[in-house]
Amino acid sequence: MDETDFDGTRVLEQLAEVGRVDEFFEAVDADDLERAALLMKKAGIDPGTIAKVLRKMEDAGGEH
């Protein structure tokens, strides 16, 4: 999983609004689901979208 998986998405837009894009990708790179979820919550991303992103992270199985 990398930035291209999120290009042009509302997830990145909302993370950018709160200045958390870099932290989010660090969490993704570290397979830190809890941190990624917390950052998305802080950005005001809805729970359904958060769940989808976390599933994508899990499905990636550490491949990024």
pLDDT given at position 30: 94
Angle at 37 between CA 2 and CA 55, to 5 degrees: 60
Contact of 1 with 59, CB cutoff 8 Å: no
pLDDT for 22-62, tens place per residue?
999 999 999 999 999 999 999 999 999 999 999 988 888 75
1 vs 18: CA distance, rounded Å: 22
9 vs 12: CA distance, rounded Å: 6
5 vs 31: CA distance, rounded Å: 15
pLDDT given at position 10: 86
pLDDT given at position 59: 87
63 contact partners, CB below 8 Å, separation of at least 6:
1
Task: Identify the residue with better confidence: 58 or 6.
Answer: 58
